[in-house]
């Protein structure tokens, strides 16, 4: 068993920011970070846009707050929104001190970007790889701190609670660390922690088609759920309408920017019909949620796997100049943009809900904190405003640090049993994991996608229960593997999304259920 003062699960912007701050403040205390892939592999790394922060004289906190509340469609916590927005400039100063670089103009001022839903230019960015740059700076800082240990390729299997412990000192509703799987050695060990922080990212892989990296399997949310933490707003998932379709569905989806439609590209079904005109007078230039819903409707009508983006009428030289990466990616996939249509499909992009936390990042379980995309803070409501996610992670990591600076945690000499896998064996048939994963992803895309209905959601639960039963039986007999634990976590996450979608009785933000339209129409008639 290993003991630490602070256990951080995840190595994105949320986990690393907290680790740097707490390690600098308390050089005599031990900080342990575990991450299941390479140390720099996280959702942060793939955040292209930037960080939304009020810096310009024309801008104001009031405007940023209003934009966030409008995007959240009435479900944001206004106090949280105000707190996060006002903290932005201070948190940016720290990133600059830690060595993160952001684009500036000729006069040395920040080159601020503007994205959908923002009323002013306020996006601080580093080219189109902002998250990658922040991750680089934070990792460099972490490696300079002597009291921080960072273990890559270490997978957290479960949080340790009283459920696992026979020691009478163990209290209800309290986290004491985690059981961790060393993926290279194939061994499982115990990390006992005075305080544990979940900073484990999103859930994109539950849908297969996702802009997230393949590690986004909802592990932190699933672990917290099994430990009986409160989880909310899981029905609010943002989808990007046009990701490059990959028939394998086992890789992160490459985004075909909305700017391509802005340049005049048409969306067509496989018959060549330009269908967006049937759904919205703005056609391909409708908002992201409408375009996603329209594509989803077409796919449900036809049973096709994808629609197409037609750029063949666009000046090819202008296309190459504006979208060199997209042109190159299409070429690699044997698609000539000048003559071929690009196969596209909506992809899971961002989870607005997650583990319930208060303004200090506290979950409903003692000694357990959470930060970043795995949380539901009240900032995003029903729909995240672009580039508010990195800001949220920075602010909440700071709040959790502040809380720990003012509150000490006793180190309990608890007797925690080692992981018990007696009676299990290394499975020969990994096909069971892969088969059930494909079944789960197809189920979520087809039954729990962008446009939902209670009848499809009810059917989804029946199918999901069959998958869950088979996987649980396999889990009891098999020695732990990352792919098996991830699948189990994704099944937990899928249950949460489906049940909370059934419970939601009004359409808000990115959530759209056909039954809610019918109910509202009936109420209006009465």
Q: What is the pLDDT of residue 518?
A: 65
Q: What is the pLDDT of residue 34?
A: 97
pLDDT over threshold 80, residue 523: no
3-state secondary structure of 98: coil
- Percent of residues, the chain, with pLDDT higher than 70: 96
pLDDT over threshold 50, residue 526: no
The answer to whether 51 and 26 have CB atoms below 8 angstroms apart is no
Neighbours of 33 (CB within 10 A): 26
Q: Kindly report, residue by residue over 25-37, the tens digit of the pLDDT.
A: 999 999 999 999 8
Range with lowest mean pLDDT among 42-56, 184-198, 348-362: 42-56
Q: What is the pLDDT of residue 99?
A: 92
Which of 91, 122, 261, 288 is catalytic? The answer is 288
Mean pLDDT in residue range 239-263: 83
Mean pLDDT in residue range 279-292: 87
Mean pLDDT in residue range 357-372: 98
Question: 46 falls in which pLDDT band (50, 70, 90)?
Answer: low
pLDDT over threshold 90, residue 307: yes
The answer to whether 382 and 72 have CB atoms below 8 angstroms apart is yes
Q: Kindly report, residue by residue over 440-458, the tens digit of the pLDDT.
A: 999 999 899 999 999 999 9
Mean pLDDT of the chain: 92
Q: What is the pLDDT of residue 430?
A: 79
Does residue 452 carry a catalytic annotation? Answer: no
Q: What is the pLDDT of residue 45?
A: 65
What phi and psi, each to the nearest 5 degrees, are found at residue 308? -130, 150
Mean pLDDT in residue range 457-466: 98
pLDDT over threshold 90, residue 82: yes
Q: Per-residue DSSP letters for 398-419?
A: HHHHHHHHH---------PPPP
What pTM, to 2 d.p., does this model score?
A: 0.91
């Amino acid at each position: 068993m290993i003991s630490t003062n602070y256990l951080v699960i995840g190595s994105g912007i949320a986990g690393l920011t907290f680790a740097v701050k707490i390690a600098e403040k308390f050089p005599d205390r031990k900080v342990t970070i575990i991450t299941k892939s390479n140390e720099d592999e996280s959702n942060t790394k793939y955040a292209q846009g930037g960080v939304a922060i009020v810096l310009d004289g024309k801008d104001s906190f009031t405007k940023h707050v209003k934009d966030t509340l409008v995007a959240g469609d009435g479900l944001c916590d206004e106090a949280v929104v105000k707190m996060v927005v006002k903290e932005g400039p201070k948190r940016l100063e720290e990133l600059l001190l830690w060595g993160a670089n952001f684009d500036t103009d000729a006069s040395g001022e920040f080159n601020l970007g503007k994205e959908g839903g923002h009323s002013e230019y306020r996006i601080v960015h580093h080219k189109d790889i902002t998250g990658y740059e922040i991750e680089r700076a934070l990792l460099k800082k972490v490696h300079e701190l002597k009291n921080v240990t960072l273990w890559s390729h270490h997978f957290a299997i479960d949080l340790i609670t009283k459920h696992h412990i026979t020691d009478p000192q163990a209290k209800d509703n309290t986290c004491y660390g985690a059981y961790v799987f060393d993926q290279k050695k194939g061994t499982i060990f115990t990390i006992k922690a005075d305080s544990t922080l979940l900073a484990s990212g999103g859930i994109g892989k539950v849908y297969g088609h996702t802009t997230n990296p393949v590690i986004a399997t909802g592990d932190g949310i699933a672990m917290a759920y099994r430990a009986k933490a409160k989880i909310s707003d899981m029905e609010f998932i943002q989808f990007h309408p046009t990701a490059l379709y990959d028939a394998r569905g086992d890789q992160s989806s490459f985004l075909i920017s909305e700017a391509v439609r802005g340049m005049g590209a048409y969306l067509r079904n496989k018959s060549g019909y330009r269908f967006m005109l049937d759904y919205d007078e703005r056609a391909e230039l409708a908002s992201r949620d409408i375009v996603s819903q329209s594509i989803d409707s077409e796919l449900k009508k036809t049973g096709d796997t994808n629609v197409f983006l037609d750029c063949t009428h666009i000046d090819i030289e202008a296309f190459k100049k504006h979208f060199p990466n997209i042109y190159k990616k299409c070429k690699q996939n044997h698609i000539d943009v000048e003559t071929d249509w690009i196969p596209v499909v909506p992809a899971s992009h961002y989870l607005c809900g997650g583990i319930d936390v208060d303004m200090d990042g506290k979950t409903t379980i003692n000694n357990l904190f959470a930060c970043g995309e795995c949380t539901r803070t009240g900032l995003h409501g029903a729909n995240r405003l672009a580039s508010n996610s990195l800001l949220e992670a920075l602010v909440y990591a700071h709040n959790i640090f502040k809380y720990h600076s003012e509150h000490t945690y006793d180190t309990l000499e608890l007797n925690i049993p080692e992981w018990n896998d007696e009676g299990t064996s290394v499975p020969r048939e990994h096909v069971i994991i892969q088969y059930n994963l494909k079944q789960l992803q197809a189920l979520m895309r087809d039954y729990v996608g962008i446009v939902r209905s209670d009848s499809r959601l009810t059917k989804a639960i029946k199918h999901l229960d069959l998958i869950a039963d088979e996987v649980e039986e396999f889990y009891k007999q098999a020695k732990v593997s990352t792919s098996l634990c991830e699948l189990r976590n994704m099944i937990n996450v899928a249950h949460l999304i489906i049940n909370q979608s059934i419970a939601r009785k009004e359409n808000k933000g990115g959530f759209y259920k056909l039954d809610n339209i019918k109910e509202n129409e009936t109420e209006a008639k009465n």
